[in-house]
Amino acid sequence: MGEPATARLGQGSGGDAPGPGRSIDAIVKVVRSTRSGVSIDSSAFTMFGDLFEEDFSFISNNHCGKGKKSKPRDSEPPAPRDFTNLSGIKNQGGTCYLNSLLQTLLFTPEFREALFSLGPEELGTLDDSRKPDAKVRIIPLQLQRLFAQLLLLDQQAASTTDLTESFGWSSHEEMRQHDVQELNRILFSALETSLVGTSGHDLINRLYHGVVVNQIVCKECKNVSERQEDFLDLTVAVKGVAGLEEALWNMYVEEEYFENDNLYRCGACDKLVEASKSAKLRKLPPFLTISLLRFNFDFEKCERYKETSCYTFPIQINLRPFCEQTEMDDSEYMYELFSVIIHKGGCYGGHYHVYIRDVDELGNWQLQEEEDGLIEEKVLRDTENAKETENPLVVLKGILSEEEAKQIAVDQLGQKLLEKKGVSWNKKYRKQYGALRKYLQNHPQIFQLSPDGNKVGLKETHKLLFKLDSHGQNLQRPSQKNDVHWNCEKNPPRLRATSAGCHWFDLNDSKVQPIKEKDIEKQFQGKESAYMLFYRKAQLKRPPEARGNPRYQIPEHLLNEMNAANTELQKKRAEYDSANNGIDLHLHLSCCYKFHNGALHPSLSWKESVVDLTIDRRKTLGDLRCAVFQMLESWEGDMVLSMAKPLPAGLHVYQVLDGDELTLDGIGLADGADIFVWNGKEVGGTKVLTGPEHEPVVLNVLRLAEHNEGGKGQHFSEAQLVFSCSTSLGQLHSALAPAGGIILKNGSGADTEANNWELFHEEDMKETVRSAGLKDGCSVLILDSHDQSFVNVASGNLTAFTYDISWLQVKNFCGVEEEEKHVKITATIETVMSDIKMKAIRELQLEEELVPEDYTVKEAELKMGSLLGLCRGKAPTSTQLFLYFMVGGDQNCSPEMEIVVEEMTSVRENATLKELNVCRGDTLVITEGKLPEKDFLKIPIWWLKPSSHKKHGEHAQNQVNGITWKMEALQVSAAAAPPEPTHPGLDLCYAGRIEIAGEASLEDLKMQALTLPFCQEQAVPLPSFLRAWTVDSKRPGRLLRDNKRRLSDYRLGARVEICIEPLQEEENLGPQELLLRVQMGIPGERNYSDSWDLVWDISKECTAWALRQRVASHYCLPVDKIEIAKYFPERFEWLPISSWTQQISKRKRRKKQESLQSAPYHLKDGDIIGVKNLLLDDTKDFSTIRDDIGKEKQRQLALEKRKSRQERARDPFLSEEKLPMKPRKPEVALSINVGVFR
């Protein structure tokens, strides 16, 4: 030996023996091992962040055990049209205004057909659009194509992406909200520009162009001064006007007079004279577009607001009174409403949808059952009559219209109300409408108050209207000769259909629903109200061949394109349907199996014994039997198909599949099911016991084998034996324990103390293995009579155990390989590591120069049997790190080397090893290459501890037996940095941080997370045994599905955190499966039992009724005997989900119910569902004591905030300073880019 040896403690996998030139410093190292080889810390990849190129090529993809093969899920093709046979339009984020206008233009047949009449010879083709010299009119071409898709393509909603790209819009423009009236003008302008030089150059003018003439007539010389204005749409006022007809009257019938101080200079008289000004409609277009001015500006508050007062409009309107020429027939002036664009929201944002009358009868309009219709109409009529009777506006107008005087005192009006209704204003209306005088002031368009506010009268217009409605007479204004029919504000005449067979639909982006004509009345007022009206001349008649014919007038090339697209869609749907409904079955052939040791085992390899079969789940069991017969042509005799399941002991057979007429889905055959094909009696001449009562169970049988030096430790031998779960404990005792021996069962899991042993007493011998709680992996300890001194028979617990007295192995790495020796050292959990090294050096006869080290076996997290190593090297100081590093990614070719560095050594970006959480014993991998790309994600990983919730269909499974877990070789990092604190109220523990490329898959992320030291302790076999969640507000947030999907597709963001949840079995959730945490309330207590993971298929429906059925079937309870509620943890509140006790008729139930994924439940993955069993607990209060405490804390916090605001308001300095308001984004002008075609 050279220099004297210095002993120091290290950690990591054993490296090569040092060469003769190095100092002989003894290092105690913890050798970590797994079944498949040396385990590698994740720190080997993430230590230095961007310093090293990551290389995972040396991680094996081969895993032990049989995992369920995850099926690739193709993207779902677009859904076909629903029963209406009409197509919606997808919303790109903020394009609802565009969708509403496009649907209106589509259902304007004359516009649609005029656009289709323009062929490729005039517009060009989309294929030529990329040619540099080609003049292709892209906007009309894309509009043609979109209309053809909306008419012919069998999909629920079409996309406007190609059209908006032709507008020159970016993704930002598609997300912005704009005004549909503005879009109407800009789109028409863009079309006019695009169609210059074609036969459709006058398309817009021909259909929408009208003329208004303004006239001023001199009172002296009768000279008429005219000014003509063109219009494509009319803008009418809403404020202070009861409806459309009154607004048109004010614009085109009422005259403005120039008199007194406001005189007009006549050009003919050349002086200031009295004159009258008026406007008339000189030319009416075939299609009249009317824009309602619902948005105004409040000059007092200096802000915009939306006018939501009642504004009526008729289905049919006669424009004769508003026209200059009135000699023509009435039919020339009659217009019919066919589209109403509706705005819901305020002046700074909202949503558009459109009511459209199907002129060509292209859609299917389903009427409700006659009985439902009559009942609903009666209820509506009664409600309207009651509202009309109780409406104070109608009552006051009725009183004032009967008065001969123009005005009466407000107090007198109140007295007359008392006489007519028998109750005063204050008692009946004040609480809802306020004081009478204030109510009259709020309706200036109806009531006219005197300047002092003491007298009130009905405006002349409303007085005449009220008399007209009361007596049914025609109204004639004294100053005019033309008849005008009006609508009352609150009591409009019933809207009536104009064309037989034409029905109305509500087109709301992708959603299309039939509506009744009377539903239009609901859009007269409120935050959701009419915004644009579209009328068509009643003279415009459609040809018979256009009725119900969506192919009418569509060019041949578009018909061919749509036919091909429909064929491709049908093909994709068939493929998706087959993939979605196809299930893979594993057929186990009896001729390839033999029965021994309580279970079936393949006589050949596993692959040769199993035949995979893919079949549609909608097929019957008879179809499956025929398919198996066709595959196995050489089969002779009876064929029985039985459910089977691979268990740790081997394959076990369960129930026989009967009922050839039943579907595979109906009998519960799931994807990946195992089926045993046999004669139903025996296998290889041995009778096979089937069913769950004969399941084989693998038990770990432990025996005390030997004693260490001085008897200060025990060592156990372990063997795995198989028993039937119906085996009695007496039979188990006879088979395992000798005479006078005893059996103990380990009732603890891996997370509890390992000395939790239970003794089987004499009276327990009649119980079976299953009833005694013994499952696969459970341990039983066999003690002979001379070993029973360790057992307290009264309590059944061991009195001494290896957890208190341990022995360790120390291996010598200081010499050459053939000279390596190891010795056993006795130690307790309080033994200091320097004492262990002293003993090891003494036993190995090494020269020593000891360095004091003050941590103990317990602090080093060593367990009995842990292997330590002595090797050369200088012991690091308290501020230094002992690290391993290897060059290159190949573990087999690159030797592992050691280095001691200061923990404050900088690495990159002024970050030190300590700041990067590099710990002693970590392994660094240095590879050739560039720094990681910018799209690499640095993701903190949290571990969701297996809480008490269980998955549906599983029992709580015991962890690995405590003795083996306590005694096996150390596999965890002894010096790993302590995890960050667990989130309060949750089972989240910080596991570490990983760096991974955005192009990596979710499976890659799980694989890399499993290499973290914290995760290695959890013994997870495959990534498919993990769930991945995002972490939102310190809780599991969004569930990440599809292991093959790229991380970039999830749009996780730069600051995302991931939570990993271990599972008892593999999981591959589909896009239509919802994961819920379901927990049953404990009767008589304000608490819940352990929660279960419930996977709910919502592909058919996601309604309260369907969820109740699913939960009830899970708990085997009647549907009407449970109550369910969703828990909102941030508010400590429970929201009951529907009520089964409601009386719901069958007809009503057939109506489409609201999805639980929408308001108010917003059901999503991970939500907690509370269940009340009404058979045992009739209280419907779902709250717990914890909820009461949480609400009280929130209340106290709210009181403190309110108190703080009040103090701030009282402070004269703070009150002068206004709180900063969130700046509103500037409005961006809408524009459409058009090429030059002149």
96 classed as catalytic:
yes
Beta-ladder partners of 72: none
Residue of 351, 485, 983, 1114 marked active site:
351
In the residue annotation, 266 being an active-site residue is answered as no
Which runs of consecutive H residues, i.e. helices, occur in 235-312? 244-252
CB 955 within 8 A of CB 46: no
- Number of Cβ within 10 Å of residue 84's Cβ equals 21
Angle at 1232 between CA 1230 and CA 1234, to 5 degrees: 160
Give the DSSP per-residue string, 542-598: --GGGTT-TTTT--HHHHHHHHHHHHHHHHHHHHHHHHHHEEEEEEEEGGGEEEETT
Is 756 in contact with 748 (CB distance < 8 Å)? Answer: yes
Sign of the dihedral defined by the CA atoms of residues 346, 350, 352, 353, in that order: negative
Any idea what DSSP says for residue 1161?
A: T
- Sheet strands (E) in 928-987: 936-944, 950-951
Peptide bond into 852 cis (omega under 30): no
**In terms of C-beta density within 10 A (0-12 exposed, 13-18 middle, 19 or more buried), how is residue 130 classed?**
exposed
DSSP state at residue 457: E
SS3 651: strand
Strands 936-944 and 1058-1062: parallel
Task: Name the catalytic one among 96, 218, 592, 725.
Answer: 96
Taking CA 415 as the corner, what is the angle to CA 412 and CA 416, rounded to the nearest 5 degrees? 90
Alpha-carbon separation of residue 331 from 214, 986, 1056 (angstroms): 25, 74, 66
Q: Are 867 and 885 in contact (CB under 8 A)?
A: no
Please provide residue 270's backbone torsions phi and psi, each rounded to the nearest 5 degrees: 55, 45
CA distance 1156 to 1162: 6
Question: Distances in Å between the alpha carbon of 1100 and those of 74, 88, 164, 1096, 1169?
Answer: 19, 21, 33, 11, 20
Residue with tokens 């292991």: 1043
Residue 1150's region, left for phi above 0, alpha for psi from -120 to 50, else beta, is alpha
Tell me the β-bridge partners of 225.
Answer: 216
Helix (H) or strand (E) holding 1079: strand 1073-1080
Helix axes 96-106, 180-194, angle to 10 degrees: 60
CA dihedral angle for residue 992, residue 995, residue 1000, residue 1003, rounded to 10 degrees: -10
Residue type, 885: F
Q: At what angle do helices 138-152 and 180-194 cross, to 10 degrees?
A: 120
Measured N-to-C along each axis, helices 109-116 and 138-152 cross at an angle, to the nearest 10 degrees, of 120
Evaluate whether 249 touches 500 at the Cβ level (below 8 Å). no
CB 27 within 8 A of CB 873: yes
Residue 234, number of CB atoms within 10 A of its CB = 21
| 277 neighbors 255 (Cβ within 8 angstroms) | yes
Residues 6+ apart with CB under 8 A from 697: 649, 722, 723, 724, 725, 769, 770, 774, 775, 776, 778
Q: Which residues are catalytic?
A: 96, 351
